[in-house]
Chain A
């Protein structure tokens, strides 16, 4: 159905931090917004949420305003997504589009206003999760990258990297394996363990394939929570504060 005109500038690794990747949202210009967008990516059960919680506390103590946003957490879409997941009517296309709608809602109503007001936005997962999940499910990659052309390139993307063996151990110790996180919709078989392993392996490969292109800062997530947090803080601090030190010395002179 595409008309034979210019190709769309979709998502790619050339996006400038804090700007739209592609054509963006024409009615919402975002140039020169003071806020910073930091995305924490990583597969299910890798420990993103706890890291964000700790990062938030630390940033707030340092005096930053922090806003958190997370996948499928938009008030508009969360109930719909839950209903759709619990019924058997979702196919890969509607699945992808529901996620995109949720993301668009959070972008317009949470992320952009917060960036405008100078907040640090911590995003628990970002569009790379959508790309990875859709990639595993065989959705057309170029199409999806065009759809997500309205996304903003984050200032930092941390990717919590883990091997599938460590991941399985962690997930089983905490909450157990879940239908969707095991990719049971892909019908690899009835065994949830085998399905989880196969699905997560594919997901990890998808994330890995995006790491260079989208400048992921890869963090070894097999380590303890504190060690990971230390590394995140070091990197966030050197991104947010390099300009502040010279300014202080200038004042004391």
Chain B
């Protein structure tokens, strides 16, 4: 619960200082992770799903939400290839499912991925196949964004007389 609420507090702070002002100014805001991360992660930690959704009801619903989906094996391989040290909470070590960080990571993140799959339907997330190359992914993402944002319709920054 405290984990969930601390993240919500941080999110609220960023929402009000970093997200809402640029939106009001007509800018495009790119958010690396959003409330959906909390929905997936907190539910995996045993927090009530509906409660978390209600908690985040102050969030702005994104115009477009992309979900980069990879199988757990690909995710683990990529992390291991970079020899990163798995973070305690990222590996869900706080849940005590396994004392082995890698095994714990697999179990925890595997469940997180299951939660994400449910969110795709519920919130209409656009799924990007993240197994592919960076270039392929980026091209696909650009087509998705181009559909949402008509570049010609964007307001010029200095549309008011100086």
Contact = CB atoms under 8 A, between A and B. Distances in A.
Contacts of A2: 53-54, 57
A143 B9 contact: no
A147 B1 CA distance: 11
B2 interface: yes
B46 interface: yes
Contacts of A1: 35, 53, 56-61
Contacts of A25: 1, 46-48
Given A97-B9, A104-B2, A3 B123 contact: yes
Contacts, number: 79
A68 B56 CA distance: 31
A8 B9 contact: no
Contacts of B48: 23-26, 150
B89 interface: no
Nearest to B43: A26
The interface residues of chain B, by DSSP majority, are classed as helix
Given A26-B46, A101-B2, A143 B123 contact: no
Given A1-B61, A3-B123, A104-B1, A98 B50 contact: no
B27 interface: no
Interface string B30-53: 000001000000000111101101
A93 B5 CA distance: 12
Contacts of B47: 25-27
B54 A93 contact: no
A108 interface: yes
A3 B122 contact: yes
B120 to A, nearest CB: 12
Interface in A5-58: 5-6, 8, 10, 22-27
29 contacts: A1-B57, A1-B61, A3-B53, A3-B122, A8-B51, A22-B51, A23-B51, A25-B48, A26-B47, A26-B48, A93-B16, A94-B16, A97-B5, A98-B9, A101-B6, A101-B9, A104-B2, A104-B4, A105-B1, A105-B2, A108-B1, A140-B58, A143-B54, A143-B58, A146-B51, A149-B51, A150-B1, A150-B48, A150-B51
Interface of A: 1-3, 5-6, 8, 10, 22-27, 76, 89, 91, 93-94, 97-98, 100-101, 104-105, 107-108, 140, 143, 146-147, 149-150
